[in-house]
């Protein structure tokens, strides 16, 4: 392992939901070849077993993480003793969203050619060698920056026996701002540190947004803490989504309730308007009904007086004791007579006289009921107006003088 250990100034406490970037020189860094048949889910156990072999301390006393990508044949592992972080002033790691070494801010960077990245951060300088087309550095060298002299730190790193290639493109950059989304995903911004010394400048490294899985791999806190915290964040995200949907649903319900209240108010206003216009509408309807009746009179030449006169003349001539209770003259010269007769024979004689008069025609058969010697009847007839009145023939005296009473109905 490469160990470039010195102390660094502790950072001030910051609120939760922040990213803590640790100086890279606090870590032992090792590149490990991946077995061909190793599954991605088995990588953490593989790294832990590897650390037990190469680390001078028990794994339980280490803070460690790793950088992994399916396009690289190796995996970059880094670890540090917990007391080393405490001595450097980094004691409260649980309050941060992510805790990463500074060189892990290049997670996701990929270059078209072999590239040597000189990464400057606060009091720290890292050299990262990326092979062509891979996003995991093959070599990582880290040294502290003393008195702000990054060039001297760079000379010291290049002078170490690290077999850095001379033909690699050089990119000198420095760490910039870090953004944290509402979902807790970090975005790292980097910028050129010395354009005159950099032979490669590409937008591929200016803004890097590692996935959540990559950030959990790079985080140096304990595996138990990361597992618990990951579950808690998923639950928190689920609760936030449920709360958001519940709030949206409540907003929809409130909107519907407001619409219902507005509709009820509108309907109430309409009811009041209808009620206020009811008298006028009824007056108009009565006038319209009267107009319809007048139109019927005009079109059908209704003769209510002539109808009543003709029917009444026949009643008086036959002298059978027929009495009218009500007479209704309807459209198309129809008349409905309700009244009483002395007997059913008297009623039959009366209806027969109406038919023989030439003025009337039965529309329906007469309806009659005889009770206590009285016969009540209803008869509906159609009237035809004749300019010359037809003679009304009374029935034979024998039929009139000897009526036959029917049994009451």
Domain count, the chain: 2
pLDDT score of 58: 92
Nearest by Cα to 129 from 100, 99, 158, 159: 158
108 and 214 together in one domain: yes
**What phi and psi values does residue 92 have, to the nearest 5 degrees?**
-105, 90
The answer to the question of residue 408 being in a domain is no
Domain range for residue 72? 19-221
**What phi and psi values does residue 320 have, to the nearest 5 degrees?**
-110, 15
Confidence category of residue 286, pLDDT binned at 50, 70, 90: confident
* pLDDT tens string 108-141: 888 888 999 999 988 889 999 998 888 899 999 9
Q: What is the spatial distance between Cα 61 and Cα 44, in angstroms, rounded to a whole number?
A: 16
43 and 140 together in one domain: yes
Six-digit token pair at 122?
């606060």
202 and 313 together in one domain: no
184 and 319 together in one domain: no
Q: Given 194, 221, 248, which residue is the final one in a domain? A: 221
- Bridge partners of residue 193, in order along the sequence: none
* pLDDT tens string 13-43: 444 458 999 999 999 999 999 888 888 889 9
Residues 6+ apart with CB under 8 A from 301: 333, 385
Q: Given 221, 249, 282, which residue is the final one in a domain? A: 221
What is the CATH number for 368?
A: 3.30.1360.100
Q: What is the spatial distance between Cα 368 and Cα 380, in angstroms, rounded to a whole number?
A: 12
The answer to whether 219 and 100 have CB atoms below 8 angstroms apart is yes
The answer to the question of residue 242 being in a domain is no
Q: Residue 34 gets which letter from DSSP?
A: P
* pLDDT tens string 87-112: 999 988 988 999 999 999 999 888 88
The answer to the question of residue 59 being in a domain is yes
Q: Given 186, 221, 256, which residue is the final one in a domain? A: 221
55 and 176 together in one domain: yes
Nearest by Cα to 205 from 112, 340, 94, 335: 112
184 and 325 together in one domain: no
Mean pLDDT of all residues belonging to the chain? 82
The answer to the question of residue 4 being in a domain is no
84-88, 290-294, 321-325: the lowest-pLDDT one: 290-294
The answer to the question of residue 390 being in a domain is yes
42 and 163 together in one domain: yes
Six-digit token pair at 324?
């009218």
Cα 333–chain centre separation: 67
320 and 215 together in one domain: no
The answer to the question of residue 151 being in a domain is yes
- Bridge partners of residue 119, in order along the sequence: 126, 173
- Bridge partners of residue 28, in order along the sequence: 79
Q: What is the spatial distance between Cα 339 and Cα 378, in angstroms, rounded to a whole number?
A: 7
**What phi and psi values does residue 312 have, to the nearest 5 degrees?**
-70, -35
213 and 316 together in one domain: no
Query: Does the predicted TM-score (pTM) go above 0.75?
Result: no
Q: What is the spatial distance between Cα 197 and Cα 200, in angstroms, rounded to a whole number?
A: 9
The answer to the question of residue 203 being in a domain is yes
Six-digit token pair at 321?
């004791």
Residue 194: how many other CB atoms lie within 10 Å: 14
352 and 217 together in one domain: no
The answer to the question of residue 291 being in a domain is no
Q: What is the spatial distance between Cα 107 and Cα 209, in angstroms, rounded to a whole number?
A: 8
Confidence category of residue 301, pLDDT binned at 50, 70, 90: low
199 and 311 together in one domain: no
Residues 6+ apart with CB under 8 A from 148: none
Q: What is the spatial distance between Cα 266 and Cα 23, in angstroms, rounded to a whole number?
A: 69
3-class secondary structure, 14: coil
């Amino acid at each position: 392992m490469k160990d470039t250990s010195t102390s660094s100034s502790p950072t001030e406490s910051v609120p939760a939901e922040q990213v803590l970037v640790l100086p890279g020189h606090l870590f032992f860094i090792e590149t490990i070849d991946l077995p061909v048949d190793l599954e991605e889910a088995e990588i953490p156990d593989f790294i832990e077993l590897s650390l037990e072999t190469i680390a001078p301390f028990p794994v339980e006393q280490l803070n460690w993480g790793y950088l992994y990508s399916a396009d690289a044949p190796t995996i970059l592992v880094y670890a540090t003793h917990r007391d080393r972080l405490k001595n450097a002033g980094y004691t409260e790691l649980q309050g941060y969203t992510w805790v990463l070494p500074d060189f892990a801010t290049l997670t996701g960077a990929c270059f078209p050619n072999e590239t040597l990245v000189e990464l400057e951060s606060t009091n720290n300088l890292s050299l990262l060698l990326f092979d062509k087309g891979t996003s995991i550095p093959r070599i990582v060298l880290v040294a502290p920056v003393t008195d702000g002299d990054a060039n001297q730190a760079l000379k010291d790193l290049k002078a170490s026996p690290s077999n850095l290639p001379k033909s690699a493109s050089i990119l000198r950059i420095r760490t910039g701002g870090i953004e944290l989304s509402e979902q807790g995903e970090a975005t790292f911004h980097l910028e050129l540190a010395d354009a005159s010394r950099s032979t490669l400048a590409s937008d591929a490294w200016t803004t890097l947004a590692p996935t959540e899985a990559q950030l959990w791999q790079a985080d140096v806190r304990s595996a138990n803490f990361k597992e618990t915290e990951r579950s808690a964040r998923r639950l928190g995200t689920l609760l936030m989504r449920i709360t958001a949907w519940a709030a949206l649903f409540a907003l929809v319900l409130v909107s519907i309730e407001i619409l219902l209240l507005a509709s009820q108010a509108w309907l109430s206003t309409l009811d009041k308007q209808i009620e206020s216009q009811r008298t006028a509408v009824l007056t108009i309807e009565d006038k319209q009904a009267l107009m319809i009746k007048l139109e019927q009179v005009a079109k059908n030449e209704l003769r209510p007086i002539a109808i009543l006169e003709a029917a009444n003349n026949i009643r008086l001539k036959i002298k059978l004791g027929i009495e009218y209770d009500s007479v209704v003259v309807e459209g198309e010269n129809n008349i409905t007579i309700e009244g009483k007769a002395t007997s059913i024979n008297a009623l039959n004689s009366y209806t027969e006289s109406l038919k023989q008069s030439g003025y009337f025609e039965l529309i329906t058969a007469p309806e009659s009921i005889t009770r206590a010697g009285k016969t009540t009847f209803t008869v509906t007839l159609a009237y035809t107006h004749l300019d010359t009145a037809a003679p009304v023939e009374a029935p034979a005296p024998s039929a009139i003088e000897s009526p036959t009473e029917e049994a009451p109905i």
